[in-house]
Structure 1
């Protein structure tokens, strides 16, 4: 079983950072890797052609192992929105079709679908719901005119968990494309692409994957392996590893999902940091992270509920939302949390709490004391 991993981070003990869904704190090893990679440019002659590919290939391997996928189905992208836009441009949608989204989902997984709907005459279906009935409402919203189902595994504001396996099956039954934003889950919650069968999975790297801001991953299924990328980079082409032959222009991409890579794929510092972050997550394993977080909050949640706070569910221990009782002034509570050096997020109507393996009992106790004090 995992023990507290705080020593791997720079977090001061007097501060209670329960906000990984906002940003993961920088690990010591990730920072060191980034700094060492930045130093490469001190002597550019030492940067060899193979270095443009080795780090990126390692990122693909690690991410693929985390989701039980294939490395050649992984592209390196700058942000989740980039991955969503890449997939959206490769989907055929007809007039009168519908695109199913979740009410209140993160904007990066909304705007590309609005543009696609506007350009094709399709309709956006924003599915509202609450708690356990939300998955059922999604299932009921999917019909034979549904072209796209785009959603997260958990809702980013309050951690509501969706049954993406059931939703994926329904999508396949009607021939719809399933696009999953795993930003708030992958790395902390077990996920198997063979079990869920998404047509595409996007994930920012700076939260639960412990990587830098500005790097993300895109996993594509067979449906999109022959798609058209957003940009036409030299490094995604066949033979790009032969620098002497780059003027032998070709329309052939390197095999797999690499065509969707961002330009300057091997930003050396970003790549080195992403490798270190992923290596650590793979070592920890998401199921162990879940177990650790569950042990942290086991006594906290009943105590909060006894004080009138509501916990949105179903949820998983790494991310959950706390509804504030009507008699508690929410702004005063947030001010108290700040004064007590407790970092959480207000998202929608929920106070979002997202612990990780760097948290300890003192962090949870501090949060509990603040909630109790506010509820008196």
Structure 2
């Protein structure tokens, strides 16, 4: 079982950081890679042609291991979630009369791409809102989403957990229903992959993307995606020299190629070999693979479970355990607690969480301890809040 890993980070001792869903703190090992890489360009002769491709292959390999993809060639380095989803949108086989089913109130990047299709092709978006229930909310939301999928549905888009409150979606059930109507399944894994086990052999998504700077513990400005068989012969939104076949041979780059690199590499962003960010994200995901997402979940559960009970006893609403992640969960306040007053008390106590809609989003990691959760709970017990 994993123990506290705070020594691997440079977090200040005078803050309580329960906000990995906003941005992960920097691993010391990742920072060291970044510094070395920054100075690597001092001598350009040290950068060999093969380094462009070794860099990208190493990152794809670590991500493929993390999500249990059969080959690193099914993965693609992207600068953002929106970039990967633009590739999905361009290659979605859908038009007038078809629909896309979305879990409502998702992060905008997993909405705007589809709103553009709604305007351009006459596709209908079906937003599935969360039920206003105090118990059974996650289960009911999953049921509503499944019911919304019909014979005109061409794609279902959601996260493994909802970005604002950690509500978990039953991806196996959604996959099964999508298969029944011939729809694809597209997952924004930004708030789950790296902390919650994600197995593409189990969930069988058609596309998955994760930004690198949250649960993948990497730098801002780089992410990574997986594209399934549906996209094997697709057309990327960008045509760069590295995503074409035989681009490893610098001497023959003027012999232009119509064929792309194998698998999903066609969807990679230009300059994906980024000699600073790519090695940093590679090192970060390697660390996650060493820890294991299942172990991260277990650790988060161990340090939060006693305090979640206390919070519920105070009247705070928390999703049922079966329908939320252990690494990310929302707190909904009872009527006698004021959100703005709570926010101010967090600020005074230097407790860092996120407020998203009517939910206080709490997202611990291996650098947190039970003392952090105890401090969080005590903030809710202040008498002036009643």
Tell me the TM-score range normalised by the shorter chain: over 0.9
Distance 2:123 2:268 in 1: 28
* Aligned residue runs from structure 1 range 304-315, under 5 A: 304-313=311-320, 314-315=323-324
Two-structure CA RMSD over aligned residues (Å) = 1.0
**Corresponding residue SS for 1:25:** coil
Matched, 1:226 2:227: no
Structure 1 ranges of 4+ moved more than 2 A: none
Matches within 5 A, 1:151-300: 151-300=158-307
Deviation for aligned residue 1:94: 2.2
Correspondence 1:40 to 2:57: no
**TM-score after normalising by structure 1:** 0.98
Are 1:348 and 2:357 matched, yes or no?
yes
In structure 1, the gaps of 5 or more residues are none
Normalised to the residue count of structure 2, the TM-score between the two structures is 0.96
Shift of the alpha carbon at 1:262? 0.4
The 1-side partners of 2:154 and 2:325 are apart by 29
Matched, 1:122 2:123: yes
**How far has the Cα of 1:312 moved from its partner?**
2.6
What residue in structure 2 maps to residue 58 of structure 1? Answer: 58
Q: Which of 348, 356, 366 is the aligned partner of 1:357?
A: 366
Q: CA separation in 1, counterparts of 2:382 and 2:331?
A: 15
Shift of residue 315, structure 1, vs aligned partner: 1.0
- 8 Å CA contact 1:30–1:276 kept in 2: the answer is yes
Q: Distance in 2 between matches of 1:150 and 1:271?
A: 27
TM-superposed deviation, 1:170: 0.4
Q: How many residue pairs align between the two structures?
A: 376
In structure 2, what is the Cα distance between the partners aligned to 1:151 and 1:82? 16
SS in 2 for 1:293: helix
Deviation string for 1:180-228 (max 9, x for gaps)? Answer: 1111000100111011111101111111001111111110111101111
- Give yes or no for contact 1:304–1:372 (8 Å, CA) kept in 2: no
Distance in 2 (CA, whole Å) between partners of 1:225 and 1:41 is 35
Query: 1:269-312 CA distances to partner (integer Å, 9 max, x unpaired)?
Result: 10111011001000000000000000011110010111111113
Measure the CA separation in 2 of the matches of 1:148 and 1:275: 31
